[in-house]
Amino acid sequence: MAIEQAIFTSARSSRSEGYHLVATSPGVTPDDARELVAWGPTHDSLAAAGVEAAARAGRRPVSVNFFPLPSGAFCVSRTTHAGPEYSGRRGPQVYTQCLVVPADTLARFANNAFRLLEAATAAGHIRVMSNVPQRLDPLVLPGRASPVSLSLLDRLCFHPGARRLAAVLRVALSCRCLGIVGAEKPERLLAGAITLVPPECRTQWSFSTGLKVSAQRPFRLTAVDDDPVQRRMLLEREAASLLDMQGELPDELDLGEGWAALVYQTMSAGNLGQLAALLQQPHPGLQLEQLDGLARGWLAQARSACFGQAPPAEVPDSTAAPAEAAGATHAGPLRAAPRPRQHTHPAHERSAVGLAPRAGAAPRPVINRPAAALDPGCQELMDQLEQIDTCVLEAIRGDYAALDRLRGLWPNVARKLDPGLVQESREQYLQYALSAWLEESGQADMRDASRAVFALDVLTTLFE
């Protein structure tokens, strides 16, 4: 599908003077055009910090912006300084090239505006035209982008680092509008934050990497100048938060128990493959508000699955050397972090006791693993039970292959086990399936019936 485009800048054209849509491609609808004008940055709209940094580096300041349009498409735009102001007034001309990207085209690029803009730039479509024609041609952008790349995650671990990214995610997920002050490289920080949420959620964050705060452009994520007026303008918005990234982040930074904590734990432990695998799991219709709940489920599963891997008591800042500092190596996709094999690890005690449902709190999907009740001497049986644990977790999550493995494993293991232990195992798995279902139903108005079907398949296998 073609990508329509428009140029919003200051010029004298046959239609108007000053800042207006100087040129559009034929497919831009009137409603979308109006929205492009309303969000369009005009004179002196680029953030001062970005302009100064670009001047020091001897290049043009750039802001990458992203917001939804009335037609259902999305605007991915790039704002920069072009030549002088046509009217002879001081100050440079602010030039914005807007790409009106249909939802399915953006989905090809994993809903990542940065990836799409990179592809468009590489294809030579993003440029400042000194003589803008009245009519522009729609773009065709072949190719696609993967939801997340390990090399990108690796770079993000180095800069801006797991702690900073997790802090951004933590605040961004809890407020309607987040301004980030003093980010050294705001584009990379925001690109990192966008990359670290599942593709389904990425379009829900409108953002700007280098425009001044304005009520006319209600971006959800925006880099803000370290200027009292700009700070105040942002904070006056409803449910707005400001995150100051200058200097070191406080040691007692509370990342909560949701998505930010998940990202921090996986990145700082160097489990980038695991994080990439989590981000790639499809979740149709997933909303940003559901991410914390989803992460809590995953964290609980991980604690159960790792069964003995304690979270590091004090994880050093990953900006130094994340993988080495955490004492872990980069694991391949879907490969769990190395873990001790003893089931009497403190982490198991935590999963069984520390995370038990509190009175009045939503139950959390945790398996009190039957393998834990075995005599440590029965190594073979314990291994098989651990395999069953993993199969149950994965099968309830929708993995058909795991369900098949479970169907083969369970009858053999059940024959060898004490009937009391078999009964107890069934109870634990039943409890886990119910908890997973209740947690999911508490997160969204729409329940995913397929999850219930998977859980029923698992329980049928176990109770046959």
Partner 1 sequence: MRTRTAMPLDSVRLAQFAVPFPCHICGSENTLAATLCQHCSAPMSIAHQVRETGIAPHVVTVLGSSGAGKTVYLGTLLDMLSRERAPLQLTSRGAYSLSLQQNTMSALARCEFPSKTPSEADCWNWAHCQVRDPADRRPIELLVPDMAGEAMQTEADHPLTFPVIRQLLGRSEGVMVMIDALEAGTGGSSQEFLVMKMLSYLSQLRTDRRRKKPDTRPVALILTKADQCEDCFEDPSGFARRRLPGLWKLCQQHLQNCHYFASGVAGCCAWQVEFGRQRVRVPLRLEPRGIVEPFVWLVRHLQK
> Nearest 5°: CA angle at 178, between 302 and 74?
90
Q: Does 356 bind partner 1 (CB under 8 A)?
A: no
Q: Which of 52, 226, 236, 254 binds partner 1 (CB under 8 A)?
A: 236
Question: Which residue's CB is nearer to partner 1, number 10 or number 443?
Answer: 10
Q: Does 59 bind partner 1 (CB under 8 A)?
A: no
Question: Which residue's CB is nearer to partner 1, number 59 or number 416?
Answer: 59
67: CB partners within 8 A, 6+ apart: 35, 39, 74, 75, 206, 217, 219
Q: Does 42 bind partner 1 (CB under 8 A)?
A: yes
Q: Which of 60, 125, 231, 237 binds partner 1 (CB under 8 A)?
A: 237
State the nearest-atom distance from the C-beta of 216 to partner 1, in Å.
5
* Binding span for partner 1 by CB under 8 A among 31-39, 55-63, 263-271, 304-312: 31-39
* Binding span for partner 1 by CB under 8 A among 39-47, 50-58, 244-252, 290-298: 39-47
Q: Does 43 bind partner 1 (CB under 8 A)?
A: yes
Q: Does 17 bind partner 1 (CB under 8 A)?
A: yes
Contact between 95 and 128 under an 8 Å Cβ cutoff? The reply is yes
CA 364 – CA 440 distance, rounded (Å): 10
Strand pairing class (92-101; 4-12): antiparallel
Binding residues with partner 1: total (CB under 8 A): 35
Q: Which of 19, 95, 207, 454 binds partner 1 (CB under 8 A)?
A: 19
415: CB partners within 8 A, 6+ apart: none
Question: Which residue's CB is nearer to partner 1, number 94 or number 101?
Answer: 94
Q: Which of 62, 107, 175, 233 binds partner 1 (CB under 8 A)?
A: 233
Q: Which of 26, 70, 83, 340 binds partner 1 (CB under 8 A)?
A: 83
Sheet bearing 17-24, strands edge to edge: 17-24, 4-12, 92-101, 74-84, 62-68, 207-208, 221-224, 177-181, 240-244
118: CB partners within 8 A, 6+ apart: none
* Binding span for partner 1 by CB under 8 A among 87-95, 154-162, 164-172, 298-306: 87-95
Q: Does 231 bind partner 1 (CB under 8 A)?
A: no
374: CB partners within 8 A, 6+ apart: 343, 381, 382, 385, 421
CA 392 – CA 458 distance, rounded (Å): 7
The CB-side HSE value for 22 (13 A sphere, CA atoms) comes to 24
Q: Does 176 bind partner 1 (CB under 8 A)?
A: no
What is the length of the chain?
464
Judged by phi (left if over 0) then psi (alpha if -120 to 50, else beta), residue 155 lies in alpha
Q: Which residue has the tokens 């043009």?
A: 60
Question: Which residue's CB is nearer to partner 1, number 216 or number 412?
Answer: 216
* Binding span for partner 1 by CB under 8 A among 16-24, 104-112, 368-376, 404-412: 16-24
Note the residues at the interface with partner 1 (CB under 8 A).
10, 12, 14, 16-20, 30, 34, 37-38, 40, 42-45, 83-85, 87-92, 214-217, 232-233, 236-238
